[in-house]
Structure formats: structure tokens, C-alpha cells
């Protein structure tokens, strides 16, 4: 069935895309399995993900990694944390994927139904020259219907990406909103007296170092290009704002002075970035033109003003200020005017993070027992909702690009670690490796470029 698409004329390609789009919409409209995006976990869909079939050409020889096992495992780990699905234990699967065709027949559907599956993900790994070709099918077991399929071409190195893309496509198909897989979460790890920046995938896979130096490196914020991280580093003896470029391992100072400098985000265009500095005597919020490197001061209070975060349209900025006595959240215009307080209950609030969809601001507030909890408030400050509970501290929220998750810091298991919190079911999954003291997670905008 494979078509050498490179030889197709452009009009034909366009036509094929149009047809595929129509078929895709038709398939989605027919699907009985549909999950409302804001009600995960109300009734998780039981899903079976058997090991992928492997063709003779792709079958690994003894001692080689087995892509068909690896990719199924990655996909399972991805879908496990989502909340929309109940992953059925592979030990309960009755059929051997290598002995049955890729497309299930009615006996096969019966077998999966007996196993309790309502959604079935099947797949096949093939090799074409140097390329690894991975195909996934999604089936509605109850209706015995093909829902949709995807084929990815890559290599053994891109198995993770292919699994992530399919997990995203599956979520998009069933909920209308694609998943966050393929992105990464940067965070801070204490090693002795130093703190360094590391990064980990959404489900806790592949933790790796970004910086390795003997200093304090704090406040990681991803640049929009996916190649760099802004941070505060004490490497030069003083806490300065720098940009660490991952592909080259180079660290460049963005803003240095004698006092404290902390990064904020780049705006939606990447032309301006927010930061905080004590250059004018106390911590204030500034906006820097990334081309001219000129900074404009946005707050002038004698109070502490920190943690500025853009709204998704870069029209507003939420930040923390103790101008009313205690640290509270305020929202101001992009030019620094019109600041309005939006938190009123707790007397210690911080870590604001504006949701990618715009309507919500996640933040941290100290409760009456002195524990820190994550809350979500609208940008007008009309209604605040607590989303974490417990005697332990949960703080530092950072949104996933799809708005489903928050990455947070919590000491629920003793020492501080980074978790992902699935909003709606409010379940925490630890993603920083066991044994690491980790905090300050910051979710990337897209895939990280190395």
C-alpha cells in the first residue's frame, strides 16, 4: 500500500490530504468512545496495548534491542498517567500478537472483549532500509470498528517520539485535544551544596542533566525555541540571569548586576522577555527587548515584585508582590500599568503560572496549617479553587502545553520531588528519579532540541 509520496504531484497530495481529513473526521464522528476533556477519570476507558507485531525484516537478532517491545512499553507508560484510560495488564492478554494478523477478526475482537478491553491499540514494526516503520491502529472493541491509524517512519532513536506522537494523536481523536507527550519538564536537583538543572519526559522517562557545575543554578524557564533554558546562576559568584544553550552546552549572561537577577518568560513572539532584578534597590519586574537588550522597568513599588508570567496573548502579566503587606498575586498590563490584586484568602501566595488556554492561573498558597497547596484562580480573581490537599507541601505549578497537567513540587513522599498532577482527577505521579531532591519544574513549550 505504500506510496512513494515524493513523486506525487502537489495537487494530488493536496487532494489526498483533503480526503484523509474527511475520513478522519468521519471516523471520529462515528466513534462511540469519546471522552469529555474536562472529565477525565469519571469512567476511564479500559484499553489493551499488546506488544506490536514485528515483521521478519524488523525482527531483532539476539542481543539487539526489540523496537516492538520498547515502543509498546513507552506508549503504555504515556497513557498510564493521562487519566482517561485504564490500562489492562498485558499478562491478561489472550492472543500472541506475532501469531495473529494486524487487523483483528471477529474472534479476536471477542477475545479482547472477554479480556475487558473497550479500546484496542495494535501495531506493527517494519524496517525499510535504514528506516523503521511503525504503524498503529486504534479499534473500538465493543463496536468492532477501526477508529483511526497512523504510520511513522523514523529510526531506533526516534521510537520514543513515535510513541509520543501516537499517544498525542489518540488523545486528540478521543477528546479533541492532543496530549503533551514529546515535551519535557526542566527542574532543579540538589547535589551536595550545588543545584543543577535537569530535564525529564512527561512520564518520568529519560531524566538527564542540562547543567553540571558546582554552583547554585535556579529558576529554570524554557526558551520558546526548545533549545535553551533561562536560569539564575551563581556560577560567577553572584546570582545572574543567563541563558543555557543545550546543543552547544554554552552559558551566556542575559542580565548581570550586583544584586539578584531572575528570569521570566519570553512573550508569545519571543521578542521580549520578562525578568526581575534588584538593580534599582529592591526586586522589581522588567521587560527586555531581546534584540536591543534594553530593559524597561514595569514595577516601581518599594515592595518585592517577582515571578512575572505572561498571559498567553502577552497582553497581561501576573506577578507576586508584597506591596499590601503579604505576598499576593497581581495582574497588570504588559506596560506595567493597571495592577490589580487577585488573591485574597491566604497570606502567602506565589509561583503564578498562566494556563496556555488563558482562563486560569495556577499558584501556590499557604493553608491554615502552614502547608503549601496549589490553587487555580481566574485572571479577575473572582473564584479560586484548591487542587491539592494533604499535610505535605505541593507548590511550583507549571502547565503542560495542552493544559491537562500541572508539573509541581511536592514532599508527599518525604523529600521534595517533581510530580505531574492530572487536573480533574488530581492524581500525582512522581517523575523525578527516586532519591533526587528536586523542585522548580518548568514544562517545555514543545519538543526539546538537542
Partner 1 sequence: MQKILATTLAAAVSIMLITGCGGSGEVVDTTTPAETTTQEPEATKATKPVAKPVEETVSKTGSSEVTAAQKNAQAMSAAAKAKLSEMTRIYFEFDKAQITSGAADTLKQNAAILKAVPGVKVIIEGHCDERGTTEYNLALGERRASAVKQFLVDTGADAGRLTTISKGEEEPAASGSDEQAWAKNRRAEFKVAK
CB of 434 to partner 1, least distance (A): 19
Q: What angle (nearest 5°) sits at the alpha carbon of residue 25, between those of residues 31 and 103? A: 55
Q: Which is nearer to partner 1, 182 or 336 (CB)?
A: 182
Question: 3-state DSSP call for residue 23?
Answer: helix
Q: Which is nearer to partner 1, 227 or 427 (CB)?
A: 227
CB proximity list for 315: less than 8 A, separation 6 or greater = 333, 334
Q: Which is nearer to partner 1, 164 or 422 (CB)?
A: 164
Computed over its alpha carbons, how large is the radius of gyration of the chain? 24
SS (H, E, C) 68-122: HHHHHHHHHHHHHCCCCEEECCHHHCCCCCCCCCCCCCHHHHHHHHHCCCCEEEE
CB of 320 to partner 1, least distance (A): 6
CB atoms near residue 369 (< 10 Å) = 7
CB of 367 to partner 1, least distance (A): 12
CB proximity list for 56: less than 8 A, separation 6 or greater = none
Q: Which is nearer to partner 1, 272 or 396 (CB)?
A: 396
CB of 361 to partner 1, least distance (A): 14
265/273 Cα distance (integer angstroms): 6
Q: Which is nearer to partner 1, 233 or 311 (CB)?
A: 233
Neighbour order of strands in the sheet with 295-297: 261-266, 272-277, 284-289, 295-297
CB of 89 to partner 1, least distance (A): 26
350/188 Cα distance (integer angstroms): 18
CB of 122 to partner 1, least distance (A): 10
Q: Which is nearer to partner 1, 7 or 382 (CB)?
A: 7
Name the nearest CA neighbour of 125 among 55, 50, 48, 49.
Answer: 55
Q: Which is nearer to partner 1, 7 or 292 (CB)?
A: 7
CB of 55 to partner 1, least distance (A): 15
CB of 29 to partner 1, least distance (A): 10
32/79 Cα distance (integer angstroms): 19
CB of 91 to partner 1, least distance (A): 26
Q: Are 241 and 253 in contact (CB under 8 A)?
A: yes
Q: Which is nearer to partner 1, 350 or 379 (CB)?
A: 350
Q: Which is nearer to partner 1, 154 or 356 (CB)?
A: 154
Q: What is the largest CA-CA distance in the chain?
A: 75
φ, ψ for residue 218 (rounded to 5)? -130, 175
Q: Which is nearer to partner 1, 340 or 415 (CB)?
A: 415
DSSP category for residue 216: B
Q: Which is nearer to partner 1, 341 or 427 (CB)?
A: 341
CB of 5 to partner 1, least distance (A): 5
Q: Which is nearer to partner 1, 43 or 324 (CB)?
A: 324
CA dist 369 → 89, 115, 322, 392 (Å): 40, 47, 21, 10
CB of 347 to partner 1, least distance (A): 9
Name the nearest CA neighbour of 45 among 194, 154, 170, 161.
Answer: 170
242/238 Cα distance (integer angstroms): 12
Beta strands in 210-291 (DSSP E): 217-222, 228-233, 240-245, 250-255, 261-266, 272-277, 284-289
132/126 Cα distance (integer angstroms): 6
Q: What angle (nearest 5°) sits at the alpha carbon of residue 54, between those of residues 50 and 56? A: 160
Bridge partners (DSSP) of residue 285 are 276
CB of 179 to partner 1, least distance (A): 9
Amino acid at each position: 500500500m505504500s506510496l512513494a509520496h515524493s513523486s506525487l504531484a502537489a495537487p494530488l497530495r493536496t487532494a489526498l490530504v483533503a480526503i484523509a481529513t474527511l475520513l478522519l473526521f468521519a471516523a471520529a464522528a462515528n466513534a462511540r468512545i469519546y471522552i469529555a476533556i474536562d472529565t477525565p477519570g469519571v469512567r476511564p476507558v479500559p484499553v489493551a496495548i499488546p506488544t506490536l507485531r514485528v515483521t521478519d525484516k524488523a525482527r531483532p537478532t539476539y542481543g539487539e534491542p526489540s523496537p516492538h517491545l520498547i515502543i509498546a512499553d513507552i506508549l503504555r507508560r504515556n497513557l498510564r498517567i493521562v487519566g482517561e484510560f485504564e490500562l489492562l495488564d498485558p499478562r491478561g492478554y489472550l492472543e500472541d500478537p506475532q501469531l495473529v494478523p494486524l487487523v483483528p477478526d471477529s474472534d479476536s475482537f471477542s477475545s479482547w472483549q472477554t479480556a475487558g478491553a473497550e479500546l484496542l491499540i495494535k501495531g506493527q514494526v517494519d524496517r525499510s532500509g535504514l528506516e523503521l516503520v511503525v504503524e498503529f491502529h486504534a479499534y473500538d472493541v465493543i463496536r468492532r470498528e477501526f477508529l483511526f491509524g497512523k504510520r511513522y517512519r523514523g529510526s531506533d532513536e526516534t521510537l520514543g517520539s513515535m510513541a509520543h506522537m501516537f499517544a498525542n494523536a489518540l488523545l486528540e481523536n478521543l477528546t479533541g485535544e492532543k496530549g503533551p507527550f514529546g515535551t519535557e519538564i526542566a527542574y532543579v536537583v540538589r547535589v551536595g551544596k550545588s543545584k543543577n538543572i535537569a530535564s525529564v519526559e512527561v512520564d518520568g522517562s529519560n531524566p538527564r542533566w542540562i547543567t553540571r557545575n558546582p554552583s547554585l543554578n535556579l529558576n529554570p524557564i524554557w526558551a520558546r525555541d526548545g533549545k535553551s533554558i533561562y536560569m539564575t546562576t551563581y556560577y560567577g559568584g553572584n546570582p545572574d540571569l543567563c541563558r543555557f544553550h543545550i546543543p552547544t552546552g554554552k552559558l551566556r549572561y542575559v542580565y548581570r548586576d550586583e544584586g539578584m537577577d531572575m528570569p521570566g518568560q519570553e512573550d508569545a513572539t519571543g521578542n521580549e522577555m520578562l525578568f526581575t532584578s534588584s538593580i534599582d534597590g529592591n526586586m522589581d519586574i522588567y521587560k527586555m527587548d531581546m534584540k536591543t537588550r534594553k530593559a524597561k522597568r514595569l514595577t516601581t513599588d518599594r515592595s518585592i515584585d517577582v515571578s512575572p508570567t505572561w498571559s498567553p496573548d502577552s497582553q497581561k502579566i501576573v506577578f507576586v508582590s508584597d506591596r499590601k503587606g503579604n505576598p499576593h498575586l497581581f495582574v497588570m498590563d504588559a506596560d506595567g500599568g493597571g495592577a490589580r490584586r487577585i488573591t485574597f484568602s491566604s497570606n502567602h501566595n506565589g509561583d503564578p503560572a498562566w494556563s496556555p488556554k488563558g482562563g486560569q492561573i495556577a499558584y501556590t498558597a499557604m493553608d491554615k496549617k502552614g502547608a503549601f497547596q496549589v490553587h487555580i484562580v481566574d485572571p479577575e480573581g473572582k473564584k479560586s479553587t484548591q487542587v491539592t490537599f494533604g499535610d505535605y507541601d505541593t507548590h511550583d505549578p507549571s502547565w503542560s502545553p495542552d493544559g491537562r497537567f500541572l508539573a509541581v513540587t511536592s514532599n508527599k513522599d518525604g523529600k521534595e520531588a517533581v510530580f505531574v498532577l492530572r487536573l480533574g482527577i488530581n492524581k500525582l505521579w512522581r517523575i523525578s528519579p527516586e532519591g533526587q531532591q528536586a523542585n522548580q519544574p518548568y514544562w517545555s513549550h514543545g519538543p526539546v532540541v538537542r
